[in-house]
């Protein structure tokens, strides 16, 4: 019985949150990795683009809510996501036209593009704060739980409850669908194949008649979708605050680099590696250990390896180790 | 050397703007602008060394600045004897153990191979981590329990605060060395990402490790540096009061102006020394080598230059200058407040200064620092005035008007981003280009 309780506690506090967070990071890292593969720079504006997509979605959600449109028990935000994607796509294409295209033409060093993305980050951050303000916004509605902790206890007779929030399930399901569609697109369609060709060898791709501007446009469109979905899912699961999206930049970069920059499969793996390390290291293991160990071995403290304030240190430490030992990442990305 | 009148007039314009602020707002405001401008100029010099000389992209300036701030606390505050007795020795032991564990892991990585290496490193790191926490945690609890409202930390060394400035530079240099060792020699993007990360972590440590510098409870009442008097002493000195009245100023304003002027003299001296050193370095064989590496790494490597080694060197020096500036800033504030370190203010603003001023040119970086700092401070009143004018026709309770007035503060980010992009695109060499 204690063993079962330990498993349930582990699932409740580590497995499910880790899966949800990992899916969000994976979606974010996919965007970073695609931009890196095709446009060949690390996009520092990524976190704030997520915030922008989520913001538009939130505004549309509020509008739907005021009209009384809903798809209860699912959150209304799911209905608003397409509008968020459209707005983000428009913004990204406009940024590319105004900012990045010039540097591509003059074949600027990647670091100049990175710096330009820093400027874009500033502007997007300003827009988001200007429109919706710097504070926390709540926009989740519909059923909060699929399984409630109390129901679970009554149902199984265990003393440990398992709570499954709607947002967590939606996150995982959506991430699986989005990733499946993305890989189908990259591997099966003509445009997807040309994107991969361009990413693998730019010169050969140009030689075989692939239009680079078209490839770049599709990349931004896909990134807009990924970024908006990731931003909305994160907002549903936790809450929407512009500054936290900026802070997500570090774990997202870490995920992309751990998996190997430019490698989509690696980005997904990296997202889960980072998420689970973060959750396990900052989780207080007292409960699980108390169930598993004999009574007189039970720990006194919380058995928390690091306080949650240091969760970014975890992704950073992993990043440093990967850079030191295997800079191309677990799945052999393109960059050294 | 011929005088470059364009550059001189650019500096004259900045000086004129400051005088204008002095006349319109007040001398105090103008001097406060000048003081932070001087410190920003030092930070910009450090970043210019990294970017302008070597093309290294450091996105963690905030972290190095904060380390400088930490140095002021650790150097100048009086030691808390009770806290040292409660857990000082144990904390030192824990820190030494932590360093030893990392050194052992590095040795294991270098000397062993294959699966043995992985297992040995895991064992060292995991075991070391638990031993470290076992040593550190009780000591931290004991230290933080010593009158938590006023101290609750170890305190500093009780030395004059001027000593903290080079110490701050050393702290920042140490952190930069560790980061440079990891990320230099790889793609340029990786250094940017690694510095972004280290800055976040330094701030997290400063906010949460209360035993070190009281975390978000802040350390207030840092001592004044040597030549700078205290306002209250001046106001109580009859000779000063009579002199102030001779100038037709009330003693309170006069004292605060005097203090700010003393700081300005101190900062200007540091800035001038640094500019002189940076100019000498730029025009020496070393400076030419750095630029040669920046412009063509392969060619420089073919000539036998150690590119990664030189990069590490210049990265550490640049970070040290940022640390020095951070210590000066905290000295000026008279308090250490980890909560105020914002990446937008301390990293990206400095970048805008360097890019706008002219990357690769020390005078350009200094000019950019003054110009951008001036706009950063003055955009808000101008924005307020603009929004007030725009919304003048609306009713006072109009939600759009209220929202617009609330959002003025965020206009700064937008303005800075637009300035950065415009300069990068249309005038990438900045106001005073590299020769």
A32 reaches B (C-beta below 8 A): no
- Does A332 map to a domain? no
- Per the CB < 8 A criterion, the answer to whether B421 and A123 are in contact is yes
Q: Is A246 on the interface with B (CB under 8 A)?
A: yes
Burial degree of A272 (CB within 10 A; 0-12, 13-18, 19+): buried
Nearest to A228 by CA among A81, A77, A123: A81
Q: Do A246 and B343 touch (CB under 8 A)?
A: yes
Answer yes or no: is B434 within a domain.
no
Shared domain for B95 and B243, answered yes or no, is no
Q: Are residues B44 and B160 in the same domain?
A: yes
Residues B124 and B185 both lie in one domain: no
Of B154, B176, B211, the last residue of a domain is B154
Q: Would B431 be classed as within a structural domain?
A: no
Whether B130 and B20 share a structural domain: no
B131: helix, strand or coil: helix
Name the range with the highest mean pLDDT among B224-228, B230-234, B333-337, B345-349.
Answer: B333-337
CA nearest neighbour of A115 among B80, B21, B359: B359
Query: Within a domain: residue A75?
Result: yes
> Is residue A335 included in any domain, yes or no?
no
**Contact between B157 and B75 (Cβ < 8 Å):** yes
Q: DSSP label at A27?
A: H
Q: Which of B132, B153, B283 is nearest to B214 (CA)?
A: B153
Residue B433 lies in a domain: no
Q: In terms of Cα–Cα distance, which of A273, A328, A321 is closest to B118?
A: A321
> What's the pLDDT tens digit per position in A104-120?
999 888 888 998 999 99
Do residues B123 and B201 share a domain?
no
In this structure, is residue B85 part of a structural domain?
yes
State mean pLDDT over B73-100: 92
Q: What is the dihedral of CA B144, B149, B150, B154, to 10 degrees?
A: 10
Q: Note whether residue A216 is domain-resident.
A: yes
Same domain, B370 and B406: yes
If we measure between CA atoms, which residue out of B352, B416, B358, B383 comes closest to residue B10?
Answer: B358
Q: How much is the pLDDT for A334?
A: 64
Query: In this predicted structure, what is the pLDDT of residue B2?
Result: 57
- B249 and B115 in one domain? no
For residue A148, give its domain range: 2-325
Q: Is residue A336 part of a domain?
A: no
Mean pLDDT of chain B: 89
Asked if ipTM goes beyond 0.95, one says no
**Measured between alpha carbons, how far is B331 from B164 in angstroms, rounded to an integer?**
9
Same domain, B262 and B207: yes
> Using CB atoms and an 8 Å cut-off, which of residues 125-164 of chain A contact chain B?
125-127, 129-130, 133-134
Domain of residue B374, residue span: 5-79+155-426
**Residue A31, domain CATH:** 1.10.3470
Q: Predicted confidence band at B1 (pLDDT cuts at 50, 70, 90)?
A: very low
For residues B301 and B283, membership in a common domain is answered with yes
Q: Which three-class secondary structure state does DSSP give residue B51?
A: helix
pLDDT tens column, A204-252: 988 988 899 999 999 999 999 999 999 999 999 988 999 899 889 999 9
Average pLDDT, integer, range B127-155: 89
Looking at the structure, do residues B69 and B105 belong to the same domain, yes or no? no
* In a domain? residue A220: yes
Question: In this structure, are B144 and B166 located in the same domain?
Answer: no
Q: Where does a domain end: B122, B154, B186? A: B154
Domain total of chain A: 1
Question: Under an 8 A CB cutoff, do B129 and A320 touch?
Answer: no
Q: What is the mean pLDDT of residues B139-145?
A: 90
Whether B204 has a pLDDT exceeding 80, the answer reads: yes
CA distance B417 to chain A (A): 5
Residue A39 lies in a domain: yes
Show residues of chain B in contact with A253, CB under 8 Å.
193, 196
> Are residues A336 and B57, on separate chains, in Cβ contact within 8 Å?
no
Taking the C-alpha atoms of residue B291 and residue B296, their distance in angstroms, rounded to an integer, is 8
Whether residue B281 is contained in a domain is answered as yes
CB-nearest to B200 from A41, A123, A250 is A250
- Give chain B's domain count: 2
Q: What is the pLDDT of residues B259-316, one digit of tens each?
A: 999 999 999 999 999 999 999 998 899 999 998 998 888 899 999 999 999 999 999 9
Residues B235, B86 share a domain: no
């Amino acid at each position: 019985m204690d063993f079962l309780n330990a498993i349930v506690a582990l699932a409740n506090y580590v497995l499910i949150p880790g899966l949800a967070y990992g899916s969000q990071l994976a979606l974010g890292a996919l965007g970073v990795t695609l931009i890196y593969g095709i446009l060949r720079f690390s996009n520092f504006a990524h976190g704030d683009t997520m915030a922008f997509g989520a913001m538009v979605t939130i505004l549309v959600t509020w509008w739907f809510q005021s009209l009384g449109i809903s798809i209860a028990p699912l959150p209304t935000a799911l209905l608003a996501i397409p509008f968020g994607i459209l707005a983000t796509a428009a913004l990204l294409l406009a940024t590319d036209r105004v900012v990045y295209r010039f540097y591509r033409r003059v074949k600027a060093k990647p670091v100049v593009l990175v710096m330009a993305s820093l400027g874009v980050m500033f502007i997007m951050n300003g827009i988001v704060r200007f429109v919706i303000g710097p504070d926390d916004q709540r926009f989740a509605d519909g059923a909060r739980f699929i399984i409630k902790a109390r129901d679970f206890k009554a149902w199984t007779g265990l003393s440990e409850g398992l709570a499954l929030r709607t947002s967590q399930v939606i996150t995982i399901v959506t991430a699986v669908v989005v990733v499946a569609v993305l890989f189908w697109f990259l591997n099966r369609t003509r445009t997807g194949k040309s994107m991969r060709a361009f990413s693998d060898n730019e010169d050969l791709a140009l030689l075989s008649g692939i239009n680079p501007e078209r490839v770049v446009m599709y990349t931004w469109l896909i990134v807009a979708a990924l970024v908006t979905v990731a931003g909305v899912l994160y907002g549903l699961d936790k809450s929407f605050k512009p500054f936290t999206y900026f802070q997500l930049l570090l774990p997202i970069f870490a995920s992309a680099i751990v998996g190997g920059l430019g490698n989509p499969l690696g980005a997904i793996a990296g997202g889960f590696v980072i998420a689970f390390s973060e959750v396990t290291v900052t989780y207080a293991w007292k409960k699980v250990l108390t169930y598993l160990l004999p009574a007189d071995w039970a720990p006194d403290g919380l058995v928390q390896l690091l306080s949650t304030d240091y969760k970014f240190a975890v992704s950073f430490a992993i990043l440093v180790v990967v850079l030191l030992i295997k800079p191309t990442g677990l799945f052999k990305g393109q960059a050294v | 050397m011929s005088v470059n009148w364009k550059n001189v007039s650019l500096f004259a314009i900045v000086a004129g703007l400051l005088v204008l602020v002095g006349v319109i707002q007040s001398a105090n405001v103008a001097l406060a602008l000048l003081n932070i401008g001087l410190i920003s100029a030092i930070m910009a010099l450090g970043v210019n060394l990294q970017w302008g000389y070597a093309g290294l992209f450091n996105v963690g300036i905030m972290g190095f600045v904060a380390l400088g701030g930490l140095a002021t606390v650790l150097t100048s505050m009086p030691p808390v004897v009770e806290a040292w007795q409660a857990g000082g020795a144990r904390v030192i032991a824990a820190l030494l153990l932590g360093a030893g564990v990392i050194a052992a892991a590095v040795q294991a990585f270098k000397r062993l191979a294959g699966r043995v290496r992985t297992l040995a490193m895991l064992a060292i790191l995991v075991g070391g981590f638990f031993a470290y926490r076992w040593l550190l945690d009780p000591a931290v609890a004991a230290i933080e329990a010593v009158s938590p409202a006023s101290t609750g930390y170890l305190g500093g060394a009780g030395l004059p605060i001027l000593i903290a400035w080079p110490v701050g530079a050393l702290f920042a240099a140490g952190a930069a060395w560790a980061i440079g060792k990891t990320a230099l020699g790889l793609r340029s993007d990786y250094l940017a990402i690694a510095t972004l990360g280290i800055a976040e972590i330094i701030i997290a440590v400063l906010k949460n490790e209360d035993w070190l510098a009281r975390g978000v409870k802040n350390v207030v009442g840092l001592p004044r540096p040597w030549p700078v008097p205290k306002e209250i002493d001046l106001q109580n000195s009859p000779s000063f009061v009579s002199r102030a009245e001779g100038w037709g100023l009330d003693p309170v304003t006069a004292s605060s102006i005097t203090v700010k002027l003393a700081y300005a003299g101190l900062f200007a001296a540091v800035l001038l020394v640094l500019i002189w050193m940076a100019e000498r370095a730029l025009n020496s064989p070393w400076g030419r080598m750095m630029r040669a590496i920046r412009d063509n790494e392969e060619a420089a490597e073919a000539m036998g230059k150690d590119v990664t080694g030189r990069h590490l060197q210049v990265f550490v020096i640049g970070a040290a200058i940022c640390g020095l500036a951070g210590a000066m800033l905290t000295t000026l504030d008279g308090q250490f407040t980890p909560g105020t370190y914002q990446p937008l203010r301390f990293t990206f603003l400095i970048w805008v200064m360097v890019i706008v001023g002219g990357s690769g040119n020390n005078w350009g970086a200094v000019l950019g620092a003054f110009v951008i700092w001036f706009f950063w401070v003055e955009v808000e009143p101008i924005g307020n005035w603009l929004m007030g004018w725009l919304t003048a026709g609306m009713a006072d309770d109009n939600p759009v008007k209220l929202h617009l007035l609330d959002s003025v503060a965020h206009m700064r980010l937008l303005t800075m981003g637009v300035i950065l992009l415009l300069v990068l695109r249309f005038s990438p060499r900045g106001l005073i280009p590299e020769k």
